[in-house]
Structure 1
Amino acid sequence: MTFQDLNHFIQILEKEGELKRISVPLSPLLEISEVTDKVSKRGGPALLFEKVEGHRFPVITNLFGSEKRIRLAFRGRSPDEVGKALKDLLEMEPPDTVWKSIKALSRLYHFSKFFPKKVNRASCQEVVFNEPDLSFLPALQCWPEDGGRYITFPLVITKDPETGKRNVGMYRLQVFDSKALGVHWHPHKGGAHHFRVAERRGERLEIAVALGPDPATLYTATAPLPEGIDELVLAGFLKGSSVEIVKGTTVSLEVPASSQFVIEGYLEPGERRMEGPFGDHTGFYSLPDLYPVMHVTAITHRKDPIYPATVVGIPPMEDSFLGRTTERIFLPLIQMQFPEVVDLHMPVEGVFHNFVFVSIDKRYPGHARKIGYTLWGIGQMMFSKVIVVFDAEVDVQNLSECLWTLGANIDPKRDVFFSEGPVDALDHASDLPHYGSKMGIDATKKWPEEGFKRPWPKKIEMDPATKKRIDG
């Protein structure tokens, strides 16, 4: 089933028993967050808060907080199935026969259906405020020491001032006042690059924030796509049809037409303001720092919009499912480049960038180190603080098996290696912001060619005949 908007998705969630309506009045200051935290940690349903104190718009949280809801968002497909379909689409060999040429044309036509489609009228512009006031949005304060209220589930849209290429990212936005937002994007992100280009040119950067498009489009703002790849094309692939986009009312940027709310504005070159602290997905408060300021020029919305929010904190929470989804969708793409990779797992206990467990078909001496250094060179994998490489037979999805194998297979002096480079902006342990060290561990069986001279012991296993007799 294809969802053209969030409203349809919510209807299906309720039909499938994946949504709970809450009619008790609750405050957007801490109370909605507390309820969401308790429910999400239990693997509970999406939550529709119908009565938000001081606001007329309902709030929905925990939209993606179960495997079933993730499947529903992707038209009944698991993230593994989505990843395989994406790999099949991209894995196009140059045609060397007429039949292959016909098949290639068919694939290219199929792919073209995923590009965004411009429309002139949109539900997200049914109501237009050219004298905007952010205070009417039910933005949440999630944790007691947060710096204020935040928009936590935004699609932040910018374009490169020189190339015109679009970026859609998910960066939290702190509500400074009725017409200003703090834009918390890290220096490695596409939106931050666009702003650097604009500042170099001495120009303002247009910016638009879309809240609550269809679920597939909402997910893609979190996806770690290579620079210059349009997230809305991936959204079209995930939903099976083009994302309809409409030009803003005060900016030239296009936004998803099905959005619940859209905030339009600009960033002034050279302007920064202290943003934070914020209770983040690491389970700690991210520290205050200087970030760009979005000046709001318009707010548009549907006639009866629903405000989407996500609450992050000590895992597991909703973002655990989003991170797991990304892991499974993008694994086949890593395997296209590095076929020796058998599986990869970023456990939620490592908040998806502190630990990476990868199993490989080890083919030559030093192969594990090669994979460790390679992963640090792939996009946002550069933020991986600890990468552990295992042999193919190790189930990296099994944390217990990984820790047992890790303890058994390594000599710390020999098998631990280090690198330095960019680290996640939320890493509070590095000596410097954005720069620090990473650790790799070779937990594979060691070969004589790697200098290991002793026999490597076999893992204890019962012989098949005895197992058969006992099981019988």
Structure 2
Amino acid sequence: MTIEDTAEFIKALEDAGELKRIKTQVDADLEIAEILRRTMYANGPAILFENVKNYDMPVLANAFGSMKRLQIGLDMSDFTEIGQRIVDMTKMEIPSGILNKLKKLPELSKMGEIFPKLEKSGPVTEVIDESPSFGKIPILKTWHKDAGRFITLGLVATKHPETGIRNLGVYRMQIVDDKHALMHWQKHKRGAHHHDISKEKGERIEVAIIIGGDPATVFSAIAPVPEGLDKYLFAGITRQKGIKTVKCKTIDLEVPANAEIILEGYVDPNDIREEGPFGDHTGYYTPREPYPTFTLTGMMRRQKPVYLTTIVGKPILEDAYIGKVIEQSFLPLIRMFQPEVVDFAMPAAGWFQGMAIISIKKRYPGQAKKVMMGLWGLGQLALTKIFVVVDDDINVHSMDDVIWAITTRSDPARDTIIINNTPTDTLDPASPLVNLGSKLGIDATQKTKEEGFEREIQEKVEVDETTKKLVDSRWSSYGI
């Protein structure tokens, strides 16, 4: 069943025993974050804080903090379905005049069902706030040395100033006062690209911040989709049903009708202020840096909205599970560009952007390096610092397997490559310069003579089938 909004998600989580309600009064200043950290590190439930000091709005967090919760929210158990749907769409022959032919062609009519649908009103338009203020929302302060309160799970909506393609991204926002916040959209992100285009034109860019909504739309905002794919369409692909949208009141943007809160405004390229520090998902405080200012011009909300948020810090916290879904859902797309790839993993301890492990069906010498180069040129993978490539007999999700492959199938001088002066994640605390550093590639596949391996390849130790079948058949009798 497709979940349509935050209220339905809360009910589904509660019915599955995945949600805890806390009625004790709690403070949005540090206390809620510490409760959440202890809960997340202990693999605890989603939490709905119903009594937040100085606010009449409940706070929902850790809603995506397990694979089970994500399966409930996205209504699927195999997340590779998402990427496969995109791959299938790329293979579909689209005739000219598609909009006029949708009803005539069954396959395209079905495709049309995933497009967003503009409505005159929706749940999020129940209250049009005449005096919008960040102060009305229980925005959390997470760490004691944070520069202030931060919106951490707001879906930042922009549209490309030239093509009109819509984007949703999750960029943290530091609250300055009731009307201003700092927009931490990093240089490599699509929202920042839209901002730069507007800046070149001498214009400010209109922005909407979406709080809450259906889980598929929240996931879509976080997911690094292929360039040029409208995020509202991607949400429809994910949930196999188009989202409903409504027009903002003070800016020319459409937003999900089933959201909890919409914060309308603009980002002025000429209003730059120091943002940070902020305790980030690397496990370090990111230092103060200049970022542009968001000015709040309007606010729409439900009668009784829920503030959906998350916290970050040293892994593994809630964002790790969303990252695992991204990892699985984009495997079919990776295979589309690199067909030899068997599996793909980005360990949560490496904050995902830090390391990726790829298994391949190796057919020729140098193939592991070919895969590395291809993936470093693919979207957000350009920011991944370390690639490890292994053979298809290695489980990329087992670090024991991966370390075994690195130590038995790679020689540091022969199988390690370092590339200098490459793009890095803005949050990387180790890069010598912000946004610029190096890449490490480790070829942990079995080497051939063509790759300079002159020794005889040693035989891998494995159980013979006769003994395996014997023990399988008698296992219950051993009493183990």
Question: Percentage identity across aligned positions?
Answer: 43
Deviates more, 1:205-214 or 1:265-274: 265-274
Residue in 2 that maps onto 1:112? 112
Letter in 2 for 1:356: A
Deviates more, 1:33-42 or 1:172-181: 33-42
- Aligned pairs (5 A) from 1:83-162: 83-92=83-92, 105-162=105-162
Question: Offset of 1:470 from its aligned partner?
Answer: 4.3
Residue in 2 that maps onto 1:448? 449
Q: Distance in 2 between matches of 1:68 and 1:114?
A: 25
Residue in 1 that maps onto 2:312? 312
* CA contact 2:85–2:237 (8 Å) conserved in 1: no
Question: Offset of 1:86 from its aligned partner?
Answer: 4.1
Question: Offset of 1:464 from its aligned partner?
Answer: 2.3
- For residue 209 of structure 2, give the secondary structure of its aligned residue in structure 1: strand
Residue in 1 that maps onto 2:190? 190
Residue in 1 that maps onto 2:467? 466
Q: Distance in 1 between matches of 2:442 and 2:158?
A: 39
- Aligned pairs (5 A) from 1:4-403: 4-92=4-92, 105-403=105-403
- For residue 192 of structure 2, give the secondary structure of its aligned residue in structure 1: helix
Q: CA RMSD in A?
A: 1.8
Structure 2 gap ranges (5+): 96-101, 475-480
Q: Distance in 2 between matches of 1:209 and 1:289?
A: 22
Q: Distance in 2 between matches of 1:438 and 1:56?
A: 48
CA spacing shift, 1:326–1:465, aligned 2, 3 Å = same
Letter in 1 for 2:361: D
Letter in 2 for 1:402: V
- For residue 221 of structure 1, give the secondary structure of its aligned residue in structure 2: helix
Q: Distance in 2 between matches of 1:94 and 1:239?
A: 22
Q: Distance in 1 between matches of 2:107 and 2:176?
A: 47
Letter in 2 for 1:294: F
Q: Deviations over 1:342-373 (max 9, x none)?
A: 00111111111111110101111110001111
Question: Offset of 1:462 from its aligned partner?
Answer: 2.9
Question: Offset of 1:89 from its aligned partner?
Answer: 4.2
- For residue 272 of structure 1, give the secondary structure of its aligned residue in structure 2: strand
CA spacing shift, 1:442–1:52, aligned 2, 3 Å = same
Question: Offset of 1:85 from its aligned partner?
Answer: 4.2
Q: Deviations over 1:244-266 (max 9, x none)?
A: 11110100111111110010111
Residue in 2 that maps onto 1:99? none
- Aligned pairs (5 A) from 1:429-440: 429-440=430-441
Question: Offset of 1:93 from its aligned partner?
Answer: 6.7
Question: Offset of 1:300 from its aligned partner?
Answer: 1.4
Letter in 2 for 1:285: Y
* CA contact 1:160–1:166 (8 Å) conserved in 2: yes
The number of residues matched between the two structures is 466
Q: Distance in 2 between matches of 1:141 and 1:468?
A: 58
* CA contact 1:390–1:443 (8 Å) conserved in 2: yes
Letter in 2 for 1:115: F
Q: Deviations over 1:174-220 (max 9, x none)?
A: 11101001000001111111111111111121111010011110110
Q: Distance in 1 between matches of 2:268 and 2:168?
A: 19
Letter in 1 for 2:447: K
Question: Offset of 1:144 from its aligned partner?
Answer: 1.1
* CA contact 1:70–1:78 (8 Å) conserved in 2: no
CA spacing shift, 1:456–1:249, aligned 2, 3 Å = same
* CA contact 1:167–1:228 (8 Å) conserved in 2: no
CA spacing shift, 1:93–1:396, aligned 2, 3 Å = farther
